[in-house]
Homo-oligomer: A and B are copies of this chain.
């Protein structure tokens, strides 16, 4: 099939690459064009390596059966690590939050990923999050301290309160990540130092 002139930029394969690159956050038409040209002009092996890494990640990254963070296998590296402290469990909304806290390097306990926050207006109720699994986990495995590290947005606070009630009878104490996080802030946008401090000063 001849690619009709006037349909796009250069060729069908080029135009499709530009179109697909725009799925990346913050990438508009001009940036996508620049990216496509950059790869085609002398970076083709790297572009092929990116294609392969994308394909493997999109199909191969699953949910850890224990903490519900991202994992390549049934159980993730953090849950498998024998050096982590089993007595402290940090509850976060997303795998991105796990990554943000890990990068702050001040925390050595385990994680639990809720999969979001309560948002009744958007139809996200307790059943849509991993709350039952969290309760079952703290029932099955003793936890001295459960740290609620949900966002400090209204929804994040509501979610923290709801979980606090649900797990209170089953854990030593429930703390809330708090000091140093600006109100309305999402964890993953914080710098490591702020996040590290906020974990230290939990209440």
The residues of A with any CB-CB pair to B shorter than 8 Å are 2-5, 9-14, 16-17, 19-21, 23-26, 31, 33-41, 43-61, 69-72, 76-78, 80-81, 83-84, 94-96, 98-99, 102-103, 188
Q: Say whether B47 contacts A54, CB under 8 Å.
A: yes
Listed by A's residue number, 6 A-B pairs whose Cβ atoms lie within 8 Å are: A5-B78, A13-B57, A23-B43, A24-B24, A39-B57, A44-B58
CB distance from A74 to the nearest CB of B (A): 12
Q: Say whether A11 contacts B77, CB under 8 Å.
A: yes
CB distance from A50 to the nearest CB of B (A): 4
Extra A-B contacts (10), CB below 8 Å, given A14-B57, A24-B35, A37-B94: A5-B80, A10-B99, A11-B71, A21-B53, A24-B24, A25-B38, A26-B31, A37-B96, A48-B55, A48-B58
Q: Say whether B54 contacts A50, CB under 8 Å.
A: yes
Chain B contacts for A37, CB-based, 8 A: 94-96, 99, 188
**A35 closest partner in B (C-beta):** B24
With A37-B96, A47-B23, A58-B39: A72-B12 Cβ-Cβ less than 8 Å: yes
With A38-B25, A58-B44: A10-B98 Cβ-Cβ less than 8 Å: yes
**A16 closest partner in B (C-beta):** B53
Q: Say whether B12 contacts A39, CB under 8 Å.
A: no
Chain B contacts for A70, CB-based, 8 A: 10-11, 14, 40
**A69 closest partner in B (C-beta):** B10
Chain B contacts for A11, CB-based, 8 A: 61, 70-72, 76-77
With A3-B77, A9-B99, A76-B11: A25-B33 Cβ-Cβ less than 8 Å: no
Q: Say whether A81 contacts B20, CB under 8 Å.
A: no
Among candidates B13, B49, B56, B80, residue contacting A60 with C-beta atoms closer than 8 Å: B13
